[in-house]
Chain A
Amino acid sequence: MLEKVLMKGNEAIGEAAIAAGCRYYFGYPITPQSELIEYMAKRLPEVGGMFLQAESEVAAINMVYGAAGAGARVMTSSSSPGVSLKQEGISYIAAGELPCVIVNIMRGGPGLGGIQPGQADYFQATKGGGHGDYHCIVIAPNSVQEMADLTALAFNLADRYRNPVMILGDGALGQMMEPVNFDSCKAMLTDKPWATTGMGTRDKPNSINTLQLQPEKLEEVNVHLQAKYALLQTQETRSEAIWTDDAELLVVAYGISSRIALSAVKRARDQGMKVGLFRPITLWPFPKSELADAVKMASAVLVVELSSGQMIEDVNLAIRCSKQVYFQGRTGGMMMKSSDIYDQILQIIAPQGGN
């Protein structure tokens, strides 16, 4: 095992991307992801890669479209307001089936919002974001080590499925430091015979065009995309289940919230309460059947998010509204304390306050 280094989450994403063979980066500065763009500016030239600061997020995502279409492993990153600007390009990238990695280090919104951590872009990330019937694969790490491991996974999934992959982190994960190594960050490269590299010795030109004026043809495109999404739903869901086997109350949280929730769940377990934690790692495809399994013994569910309640809709769908679902959320860049979650666990399990 390589020695671990202490790194910020933002930087770990950058190093993992490079380890996974990413050599092109286009981005625009925004807090709290700026360490990532700065890291790429410094690091990419050292490995023979190319860094470019674009004039806007709009330009950056379209540069990614061009580079991905040209066959490169390419990444862009931003935070909430910038990711809104990228949505047009992401829709085109999904339609063109171009592999790339897009990082959103979320902050509080809406509008210019704030710069403190948030998870309020869940809907945008998982339900499309841009126009049309498409999905990004959305991956939510909850530690600096996962920022690294899942970034490498993101590049490999992007190539394998020819689909954009979004890493959905937040300001806390981006800014915090933890030990990390890059042992498992490996590039699994695939051939890209479809890329526009210049015809060379090919006898036909390649074209990447997302326009289909014939409705029948466009429907075919959509049917093809949906088949891919259905495959992703069966093949690529990821999640973590802790103490769920006998859990009477199941806490569901992702990303930084799952860390806070875990501390509360541990404390409750120490007190003899049958509480478990379910953590979706892929937010799209959402680990529906895994969650349905984990919730079997439970009589109630507590969803914890740094938003007013977005993932809670997917939780309710996955369990078909079969249980009482409670919610705890903070917004604006505020974070709940694990003691707040613990208190709510107590409330749900022993409403009279005693145990």
Chain B
Amino acid sequence: MSNKVFARPRALTDVATHYCPGCQHGIVHRLVAEVIDELDIQRKTIGVVPVGCSVLADQYFNVDCQQAAHGRAPAVATGIKRVHPDKVVFTYQGDGDIAAIGTAEIVHAAARGEKITTIFVNNAIYGMTGGQMAPTTLANQITATTPKGRQEDSAGSPIQLSEMLATLRGAKYIERVSVNSPAQMAKAKAAIKKAFETQLSGAGFAMVEVLATCPTNWGKTPVEATRWLNENMLPQFPLGVYKNANEV
């Protein structure tokens, strides 16, 4: 992969994205698109994009897409997959979308072993609405709605969704990755590929949680943001495979 970094994957459109400089949503899009290319599934893939900064991702993924109401992507994906069991269906969701307003939908999609793939971009904050507390916001992290830092006794503690979903039998592949370095990116892509393969094999639900930066709402430069992620998010959200039920 590293020798053709600048070629645009077929599964991405030729459109400039609206993401902020240093935002890692773009990297994650690209990894997903490369996997779709490599698995040669572009013409049978249907994406479900969320409400969040990636709400316009249907313009970037060069596949059929539906945009879901906030948090409901797993339900929408369920509807699509049940109609087209032979197609590949993925959701792309932020932390607020998946672990706050849409907690029920993702838990139950996983519990049903819905044969979909979920890409979960965890940036520990609400990007689109301007930097409010997310369910994954760290303890004491300052956000627009936790001006003195997130107080665990009143604002709760960060939700570790990968760990939670891994307890469900319907969840067949769960991994948490980051995209902070080329090596991490390669690992992330391999995880995303596994998650799509899990769906293709008919095994069940798969999710990759990608830790990502939001320099804009963290109030940091892109470089500072990657450092902050390594120092603060990794201890709370350890990388690794949380579920691999279809080990072959």
Contacts and interface: CB of A to CB of B under 8 A. Distances in A.
B78 to A, nearest CB: 5
Given A92-B69, A198-B45, A208-B66, A67 B82 contact: yes
Interface string A22-42: 001010000000000000000
Interface in A310-353: none
A62 interface: yes
A200 B82 contact: no
Interface range on chain B (Cβ under 8 Å from partner): 35 or more
A211 B87 CA distance: 25
B65 A208 contact: yes
Q: Is the interface of B mostly helix, strand, loop or mixed?
A: helix
B72 A89 contact: yes
A203 to B, nearest CB: 10
B76 A62 contact: yes
Contacts of A206: 64-65
B82 A211 contact: no
Interface centre among A96, A205, A211 (most CB of B within 10 A): A205
A59 B68 CA distance: 11
A66 interface: yes
B42 A199 contact: yes
B227 interface: no
B43 A69 contact: no
B159 interface: no
Contact of B75 (A58, A198, A199, A211): A58
Nearest to A54: B75
Interface in B70-105: 72, 75-84, 87-88, 104-105
B67 interface: yes
B82 A58 contact: no
Nearest to B55: A211
B46 interface: yes
A209 B69 contact: no
Nearest to A198: B44
B84 A197 contact: yes
B62 interface: yes
B108 interface: yes
Contacts of B77: 66
A64 interface: yes
Contacts of B81: 66
Interface string B35-73: 000000011111011000001101101111111110010
Given A66-B48, A196-B46, A205-B64, A56 B78 contact: no
A268 interface: no
B80 A196 contact: yes
A70 B69 CA distance: 16
A59 B87 contact: no
Contacts of A200: 43-44
A207 B75 contact: no
Nearest to B72: A62
Contacts of B45: 198
B67 A209 contact: yes
Nearest to A201: B43
Contact of B84 (A54, A70, A209, A211): A70
Given A58-B105, A72-B83, 9 more contacts: A59-B104, A59-B108, A62-B69, A65-B72, A69-B66, A69-B79, A197-B87, A198-B84, A208-B66
30 contacts: A24-B83, A50-B83, A52-B82, A54-B75, A54-B108, A55-B104, A55-B105, A55-B107, A62-B69, A65-B79, A66-B48, A66-B68, A66-B81, A69-B80, A72-B83, A196-B64, A196-B65, A198-B45, A198-B63, A198-B88, A199-B42, A199-B43, A200-B43, A201-B43, A205-B58, A205-B61, A206-B65, A208-B65, A208-B66, A209-B58
